[in-house]
Chains A and B, each alone.
Chain A
Amino acid sequence: MGFMVAFLFAYVLWLVLTAGTKGMLWNGQELIAGLIFAAIVGYATKDVIGERASRFLNPAKWILGIAYAPVLFWGMVKANLDVAYRVITGKIRPGIVRVPVELENDAQYTILANSITLTPGTLTIDACPDEKALYVHWINIPPGLERPENSEPVSGPFEKWARRLGE
């Protein structure tokens, strides 16, 4: 199973890289060479990519991922403007907060941590699955939120998205 996932990832990237060899499409040589190299890469990395990676082959998950892109982009726009405001005015209250999260697997933690890091003003420092928490450096902790009970004040709706994207 790990072979199929790594093979398909690799083959899709090969197709993206070599598009345009026959008009807008691919000629036969590129397609066959891609099959061979993707098979080699898939065989070499079948243990690395993990047994459960096959759940990302589900098309429902791709649609969810596409739906997540504008949410993340809008969060980045808002947060960048907020950081620009903080650069000009200097109103900051930095600190590291422990954010308890309700996530189960590695992919969910990775998606949430990367989303938090991508939205400026917050920076994930560590993910601790055994205590179900993230440690986040926050540029401006609102008073009274030094010990948040959930990830809502830090990351907005991202935890819900990460839970659904990674399950």
Chain B
Amino acid sequence: MGLIVKTSARAIIPLIGIFGAYIVMHGHLTPGGGFQGGATIAGAGILFLVAFGLDEMRKHYNKNLYSALEGIGGLAFLGAAMLGMGVAFFYNTLWHNGPFFNGKPGTLLSAGFLPIMNLAVGLKVFTGLVSALTAIALYRRWKS
């Protein structure tokens, strides 16, 4: 893209990133959550891809790293769901008698495993969407 789009993208990409992180981290307090925040951050990645082009994206995108992070996101979600396995699957033991994440409702460290799950889903959605869009952009050529 042109110079103006590139320069604006330089300024905006960190701001989109932190706004997405805000949505993910406050999923149990405000509207939004893992998917919405992850898709917002993926928007920053796609803005980078569109503004700077495929060659620049190829230099900064690491397929193995993104693939691993997506797996870690899924595993962290599952791990949080298994924490209360002594009572039931998805039993919110962090909220009932956990050492942390059981603060006063309305504060950041409340709601038991929900913040962990939101972070996991956000990471998974971000890496998954960026990987998918990059793969589509890299698709060999128009013909055959």
Contact = CB atoms under 8 A, between A and B. Distances in A.
Interface residues of B, number: 25
Contacts of B17: 10, 41, 44-45
26 contacts: A9-B15, A10-B14, A10-B15, A10-B18, A13-B18, A13-B19, A14-B18, A17-B22, A21-B108, A27-B107, A29-B108, A33-B108, A38-B18, A40-B21, A41-B18, A41-B21, A47-B60, A48-B9, A48-B48, A109-B3, A109-B4, A110-B4, A126-B2, A127-B2, A127-B3, A127-B4
Chain A contact patch, size range: 35 or more
Among A37, A38, A41, A49, max chain B CB count under 10 A is at A41
Interface in A114-137: 114, 124, 126-127, 129
B31 to A, nearest CB: 13
A11 B22 CA distance: 11
A77 interface: no
Interface of chain B, helix or strand or loop or mixed?
Answer: helix
A30 B10 contact: no
Contacts of B108: 21, 27, 29-30, 33
Nearest to A111: B7
A107 B3 CA distance: 9
B134 to A, nearest CB: 15
9 tightest A-B CB contacts, nearest first: A10-B18, A37-B21, A110-B7, A29-B108, A41-B17, A106-B7, A6-B14, A45-B14, A41-B18
B36 to A, nearest CB: 14
Contacts of B26: 18
B4 A124 contact: yes
Given A10-B14, A48-B48, A129-B3, A29 B109 contact: yes
B13 interface: yes
Given A10-B17, A37-B25, A40-B21, A53 B3 contact: no
Nearest to B47: A48
Contacts of A109: 3-4, 7
Interface of B: 2-4, 6-11, 13-15, 17-19, 21-22, 25-26, 48, 60, 103, 107-109
A110 B108 CA distance: 38
A48 B18 contact: no
A138 to B, nearest CB: 18
Contact of A14 (B4, B13, B22, B107): B22
Contacts of B2: 126-127
A33 B22 CA distance: 9
Contacts of B60: 47
B7 A107 contact: yes
A113 interface: yes
